[in-house]
Structure 1
Amino acid sequence: MTATTAPRSRGSLFASLVRALGIASLAVWIGGCSTPMNVRDDAVYQSYGSAANRPANKPVRSISSFSDSLMCMDRLFREAQVPTTLITSKWIPDYSNRVPVATKEMIVTALSQMSRTSNAFRYVDYEVDIARQDTVQNLTAILLGINQMQLQRPALYVSGGVAFVDQNVLNNRFNVGTSASRLETGYSQNKNATIIGLELHLGDFRTRTLIPGLDSANEVVIGTGGQGLDLAGRISTYGWNFNVGRDYTQGSGAAIRTLVELAMIELAGKWARVPYWQCLTLDQAHPDFQRQLRDWYDEGDVGIRHGLIRQSLISHGYLGPDKANVPLNDPDFRAALARFQADQGMVVTGSIDFPTYERALRSFVGLGEDGKLVRIGWTPTTASPILASTVEPSSTGKGIQVYGSAAPAPLKLELRIENPKPDKSVFESGEQIFASATVSRASYMYCYFAESLGNVLRLLPNPSRPTSAVPANQMVRIPDWMAPNPGFVLDAGVPGTETLTCFASVEDPASRLPAPLVEPGLQPLPGFNGMHSIREAFHKAFDGRGYVEQTLQWEVRPRRAQAADASPQPKS
């Protein structure tokens, strides 16, 4: 009798509990419906939304494995004096429909990074597909129709597409489990490999034919993997379960960017007939480069990490050798770090994070004999006794001595003639002259022009470009021939020798120079005759150090048709 009544009482108790919960839920629901929610009662809670929707991490610049290679190509084009080529691109489709990325925009970015100082390529932004035309495109079509705008025809165009995405080419799975009356366990592990292929070609825009040999076909492998653990058990009549997993997925967007940059380096190098492979042998293009630096960043001591950053800034000339032990909150250190980040094309924060660590130490990492990345390049110095006694383990398990370098890299200024002619040292009277200046670090630059008769004018800064601050590794055009109103035009004047000299320093020289040298430009400077007088003024203002200069000279000859009679004045 007891055995038959016990289950019945447990069932009655369970049924009563269910009915009680149902009645309570119904009461809450009726109460909620009869009393509408007041938005103002939640105003305080909602006020947190404007702060909660902010990202938790600071933005970082998209720096890929071939960022240094693109800058190397820019220098290669400039050294080879590759003329400017107009280029455009077709829409780059993804025939697999599995990689929804903006491949065409990545091509534009790669071409831009290869043309910062060389001006090797200029992209013609014109979309012929009506479905993809935007407001600027529509306005362009209107201006073209009424002859108010001239569209330059490109010489080259990029064609191609994401050829294939082979998913799960390799698939490794492992599952194991146990089962008992009170406990069940399970473990699973899987690894997958997917291959993405990109094919790009260069075509002749005039004939719409693809140029034989100017093609690129590369592949990259991305992987996914995961581990999982399941536990389930029973205590009396009650059960419990536990699940934990760990997964990773390599993004397809970064893979496509790597393929695009590699392809554009190949295509541009083949087109310009320059040894582009020299820019692809950098250790920074190693797939494990950033991963290894991230491990060193996470595993290393914070004090050693910050010391390495300081020594890197000293070795690159952003800090003086006496600042080896300056604290991180020092204004000079934060300003130096901000200048370094700006010169490297990073988001300027003035604080140390992994992207800054990676850019600062990339010159001091190389490949060992075993093909693995090792720390190299730090020469012994007494500037930092903390670093001199630091020994860190390498990937091979052997200790590697790490030191700081106290040899600052000097500020570099490059000044050159940009006229597309074989002999750039001789001009005829009245012929326009185009020059450019590039600095290796963000600095302040003043440029002066001396006529054949000795009159001196300041070309930069001037009323149309009043600031003397110039960014690093970006060509400053003299005059700015790409601007519709350049501010002045530089013409060769009377026969003789003309001189163009630029001065650059990391400190603004305006407060040091004599008043005539900092007054509005494009006017003859009173009291100065010949470029030697300008050099003497800068030498005296800086006490012979703290700035760099470079000079260009050319000979002006009479025009072949008639003798020149005009003085060389920049035309405003």
Structure 2
Amino acid sequence: MGHGNFSGAAERGGKARTLLFCALAAVAVLSGCATPLSPKEDALFQSYASATDRPATRPVRSMSSFSDSLVCMDRMMRDAEVPTTLITSKYIPDFSGRVPVAAKEMVITALSQMSRQSNAFRYVDFEVDIARQDTVQNLTTILLNNNQMELQRPALYVSGAISFVDQNVLSNRHSAGLSGARIEAGYDRSRAATIIGLEMHLGDFRTRTLIPGLDSANEVIMGTSGQGLDLAGRIGTYGVQFNVGRDLVQGSGAAMRTLVELAAIELAGKWTHLPYWRCLTLDNTHPEFQRQLRVWYDEGDRTTRSRMVQRYLASRGYLAASETALPPGHALLREAVGRFQADVGAVVTGEIDFPVYERALRDFVAVGEDGQLARVGWAELSAGQTKIEPFTIDLQIENTSRDRTAFEAGTHIFASATISRAAHLFCYINDANGNIVKIQPNMLSPESLVSANQAIRLPDWMVPYPAFVLTAGAKGSEALMCVATNEDPMLKMPPELNVPALTRMQGVASLQALREQFEAAVGAGNMAAQTLEWRILPARPAAAAAAGKNGAAQ
């Protein structure tokens, strides 16, 4: 027995000496290689850095529950013919220091999205705070001081601040553990809620006074939660540990965008005296809207999702009815998806991903009587039985006058055209002398393909030097016609009609004859057209006009 114990001990001692010898040998080898490493040896490894540094997912459009409400307000103000108001804003501070977001930039974005069609607000970008002035601001100040630049004074300004951040207003934590001779286990769960408040006001820039009643005070709750499980045990002389956890942290950026867009809608609605609450009761303002659509997106397979989206695109005119079974990489499908993404303000990728799925099927989701989100019309959409949305163009006179069908000679006329989906847009003016001139596209806007739901100004009065001006000519009548087509019609039009912009067209008797040429080129079902006409009144003598103005002032 004693001899056997001695042999086992000697064997273990030999193994230990062998391991020690190997470790010392490895140290000696590494010590001998203490010279600097050659960059060439890592060249192949480092070559993967550029590709690895790229994001793993595509960018997506930053949206909130009220993004569609901004579009709703834009259309409401367009229908109400709200005039353009110059507006600016103060810096939106966060005195708590816990919400590091650019709230002022979110205000600018919200005002811009509410003005795509209506032109209701035009932001004056002038920073008063010297600490926040940039190169453009410094150049602006120099030009202003030298009387080489005129700054338009805004009528309104936005004032506000992140009023409070109450962290962990609610906090809940549970933990439990189990311990034994060879095993230990522990479970932990925690939940917390933080409240962010935002207050914004509209002020009169001329008097620097805040207008009573034009205010917004809202708050939003951000939640955090986590679960964790720990296991530890021993198997013989070895120990085993295992840990798994899940955490959810709702960021302050999305919460602040929601508050800012809600405040912008409230302030714009109160300023224009419009029923803005109609835009706040949309089904997609439900907080679970996108999360529920994501669940439905994950439940379906790729083929089903693609067919659903393709049939929706066909119902909106982006695809032909016979093109609803295209493979994902088909050129026609990528083109249609790209145009749809551009029209809804999404990042254009041409891929049917979740943002496209959500934007396409949101019209088929509604809040039921039980307050839960439910699918509406999905069976009809799957069968391709949905109603095809007509292709429309909205052409309007933008002059701030009661009668927009008659103008005095010499009056500058302003118009705009808005199309329901991305298309090729062409506009023509028929003056009092019978001349027909193409004004869109032109040298400043040479591309005929334009996005949907964005007012194309005719002329573009937002730029210092527009490509043309529309001025009422001699006594008689004039007309403006705009035509939108799914494909480029100039490839099929007669050469004499494909003339440069702002030149007289030959061989065209009327706008109606020109419209018939478009119908022959692309087909009546693949285009939309609208014509506006106005009468030209004799210009009043200067003395009579001045007397009329004085009388009106009195």
Which category of TM-score, normalised to the shorter sequence, fits these structures? over 0.9
- The equivalent of 2:233 in structure 1 is 233
Residue 99, structure 1, aligned to residue 99, structure 2: yes
Q: Secondary structure at the match of 1:165?
A: strand
CA distance in structure 2 between the partners assigned to 1:93 and 1:17 by the alignment = 68
Residue 416, structure 1, aligned to residue 420, structure 2: no
Gaps of 5+ in 2: 544-554
Q: Tell me if structure 2 keeps the 8 A contact 1:163–1:199.
A: yes
- The equivalent of 2:256 in structure 1 is 256
Structure 1 residues 197, 512: CA separation in 2 closer, same or farther (over 3 Å shift)?
same
Q: Secondary structure at the match of 1:71?
A: helix
CA distance in structure 1 between the partners assigned to 2:452 and 2:51 by the alignment = 35
Question: In the TM superposition, what is the alpha-carbon distance from 1:289 to its structure 2 partner?
Answer: 0.5
CA distance in structure 1 between the partners assigned to 2:314 and 2:74 by the alignment = 26
- The equivalent of 1:83 in structure 2 is 83
Residue 189, structure 1, aligned to residue 189, structure 2: yes
**Which stretch shifts more, 254-263 or 37-46?**
37-46
Structure 1 residues 526, 218: CA separation in 2 closer, same or farther (over 3 Å shift)?
same
**Which stretch shifts more, 242-251 or 19-28?**
19-28
Q: How far does the alpha carbon of each residue in 1:345-364 deviate from its partner, in whole angstroms, 9 at most, with x for none?
A: 11221111101100010111
Q: How far does the alpha carbon of each residue in 1:119-141 deviate from its partner, in whole angstroms, 9 at most, with x for none?
A: 11111111111111111111111
Q: Tell me if structure 1 keeps the 8 A contact 2:497–2:506.
A: no
CA distance in structure 1 between the partners assigned to 2:259 and 2:29 by the alignment = 59
CA distance in structure 1 between the partners assigned to 2:218 and 2:25 by the alignment = 65
Question: In the TM superposition, what is the alpha-carbon distance from 1:238 to its structure 2 partner?
Answer: 3.1
Q: Which amino acid aligns with 1:177?
A: G
TM-score by length of 2: 0.92
Q: Secondary structure at the match of 2:418?
A: strand
Match for residue 477 of structure 1 among 451, 457, 466? 457
Residue 167, structure 1, aligned to residue 167, structure 2: yes
Structure 1 residues 29, 343: CA separation in 2 closer, same or farther (over 3 Å shift)?
same
% identity of equivalent residues: 58
**Which stretch shifts more, 360-369 or 515-524?**
515-524
Question: In the TM superposition, what is the alpha-carbon distance from 1:268 to its structure 2 partner?
Answer: 0.8
- The equivalent of 1:291 in structure 2 is 291
Which aligned pairs between 1:27-46 and structure 2 lie closer than 5 A?
27=28, 30-33=31-34, 35-46=35-46
Alignment size in residue pairs = 541
Q: How far does the alpha carbon of each residue in 1:408-444 deviate from its partner, in whole angstroms, 9 at most, with x for none?
A: 2121100011111121111111111111111111101
Q: How far does the alpha carbon of each residue in 1:3-40 deviate from its partner, in whole angstroms, 9 at most, with x for none?
A: x999x99998999699758745753553343x221122
Structure 1 residues 241, 481: CA separation in 2 closer, same or farther (over 3 Å shift)?
same
CA distance in structure 1 between the partners assigned to 2:435 and 2:362 by the alignment = 47
- The equivalent of 2:498 in structure 1 is 518
Q: Tell me if structure 1 keeps the 8 A contact 2:485–2:522.
A: no
- The equivalent of 2:156 in structure 1 is 156
Q: Secondary structure at the match of 2:413?
A: coil
CA distance in structure 2 between the partners assigned to 1:155 and 1:561 by the alignment = 33
Q: CA RMSD in A?
A: 2.5
Structure 1 residues 40, 302: CA separation in 2 closer, same or farther (over 3 Å shift)?
closer
Match for residue 440 of structure 2 among 446, 449, 460? 460
Question: In the TM superposition, what is the alpha-carbon distance from 1:63 to its structure 2 partner?
Answer: 2.1
TM-score by length of 1: 0.89
Gaps of 5+ in 1: 382-386, 388-402, 564-572
- The equivalent of 2:516 in structure 1 is 536
CA distance in structure 1 between the partners assigned to 2:236 and 2:128 by the alignment = 73
Q: How far does the alpha carbon of each residue in 1:194-215 deviate from its partner, in whole angstroms, 9 at most, with x for none?
A: 1111111111111111111111
CA distance in structure 2 between the partners assigned to 1:102 and 1:201 by the alignment = 17
- The equivalent of 1:245 in structure 2 is 245
Question: In the TM superposition, what is the alpha-carbon distance from 1:220 to its structure 2 partner?
Answer: 0.8
Q: How far does the alpha carbon of each residue in 1:524-551 deviate from its partner, in whole angstroms, 9 at most, with x for none?
A: 2122233233233333334543211111
Q: Secondary structure at the match of 2:322?
A: helix
**Which stretch shifts more, 188-197 or 301-310?**
301-310
Q: How far does the alpha carbon of each residue in 1:481-518 deviate from its partner, in whole angstroms, 9 at most, with x for none?
A: 11122111111011111111111111111022222322
Structure 1 residues 379, 559: CA separation in 2 closer, same or farther (over 3 Å shift)?
farther
- The equivalent of 1:60 in structure 2 is 60
